[in-house]
Structure 1
Amino acid sequence: MNIETALKNAMAIEGALGAALVDYGSGMALGTIGGGRELDLEVAAAGNTEVVRAKLRTLASLQLDDEIEDILITLKSQYHIIRLLSTPGGQLFLYLVLDRERANLALARFSLRRIEGEIAL
C-alpha cells in the first residue's frame, strides 16, 4: 500500500481527526490527511519528531535493548498516537489524532499496526 492509501486507511479509523506519515530524521511530513485549522499536521509532525528523538535518546541513555512500538499522548479531548515504523533504513512514524469520545484506543492501535504491515515505501 502506498502513502496515500495508508493515510486514507488511518482516517477510516473511528474517531480519526488527522493523520500523517513523518520522517523523524528530518521532521518533515511525507503526507498528511485531515487536520484543519485547529490541527496543523505540519506543525504537529515537526513537534512530535522531537518527542520521538527524546524518547530514543532516553532509551539509549538507559541502555535498554528494546524498540519503541508506539507513543501515546492523551489530552482531555484527544488521543495522539505515534507509531514508529519498522522500515529498513527508514526513520518514519505514523501519527494519528483521534477524538477521544468517539475513538476506541485499542482498535486504533491494532489498525495502525495493520497499516504498518501493509505500507510499501
Structure 2
Amino acid sequence: MDIETALKEAMAIDGAVGVALVDYESGMCLGTSGGGHGLDLEVAAAGNTEVVRAKMRTLESLAIDDEIEDILITLNRQYHIIRLLTRGGSQLFLYLALDRERSNLALARHTLRRIDGELGI
C-alpha cells in the first residue's frame, strides 16, 4: 500500500479528524490528510516528534529492552494516537487524531496496526 492509500484508509476510520505520516528524525510530514481548523497537522507532527523522542530517551534511560507500539494521548474531546512503524530502522510514525464521541479507540488502533503492516515505504 502506498502513502496516499494508507492516509485515505486512516481517514476512513470512524471519527478521524486528521492523519499524518511523520519522520521523527526530522519532524517533517511525508503526507497528511484531513486536519484544518483546530488541527494543524504540520504543527502536530513537529510536536509529536518531540513526544516520540522523549519516550525513546526514557526507555533508554530505564534500560527497557522493548519497542514502542503506540502512544495514546487522551484529550477531553479527542484521542491522538501515535503509531510507530515497525520496519527495521525506520524512523516514522502515523499520527491519527480522532473525535472521541464518534470513534472506537480499539478499532482505530487495530486499523492502524493493519495499515502499518501493509504500508510499503
1:59 matched residue in structure 2: 59
TM-score with structure 1 setting the length: 0.99
Give the alignment's Cα RMSD to 1 decimal.
0.5
**Runs of 4+, deviation exceeding 3 Å:** none
Say which SS state the counterpart of residue 60 (structure 2) adopts: helix
Say which SS state the counterpart of residue 101 (structure 1) adopts: helix
Q: CA shift at 1:117, angstroms?
A: 0.3
Say which SS state the counterpart of residue 68 (structure 2) adopts: coil
Deviations 1:19-57 (A, max 9, x none): 000000000010000000210000000000000000000
**Amino acid of the residue matched to residue 98 of structure 1?**
L
Identity %: 77
1:16 matched residue in structure 2: 16
Distance 1:89 1:112 in 2: 19
Distance 1:113 1:73 in 2: 17
**Amino acid of the residue matched to residue 5 of structure 2?**
T
Distance 1:37 1:79 in 2: 17
TM-score with structure 2 setting the length: 0.99
Say which SS state the counterpart of residue 101 (structure 2) adopts: coil
Structure 2: runs of 5 or more not aligned: none
Matches within 5 A, 1:31-110: 31-110=31-110
Aligned length: 121
